[in-house]
Amino acid sequence: MKQFVVFASVCCVLLAGRVVLSAPAPQQGGGAGGSNNVETVKYYSENNGQDGYRFNYELSDGQIRSEVGTYRDVKDAEGKDVKALFVQGSYSFVGPDGQTYWVNYTADENGYHPKVGTGPTGGIQPGQEAPVTSA
Q: Which residues, at least 6 apart from 111, have a Cβ–Cβ distance to it below 8 Å?
A: none
Rounded (5°) CA angle 96-61-59: 140
What pLDDT, in 10s, does the model give residues 22-72? Answer: 555 444 444 454 557 999 999 999 999 888 999 999 999 999 999 999 999
Alpha-carbon distance values, 10 to 4, 26, 59 (Å)? 10, 28, 25
**This prediction's pTM:** 0.68
What pLDDT, in 10s, does the model give residues 58-114? Answer: 999 999 999 999 999 999 889 999 999 999 999 999 999 999 999 999 999 899 999
Q: Where are the domains of the chain?
A: 40-118
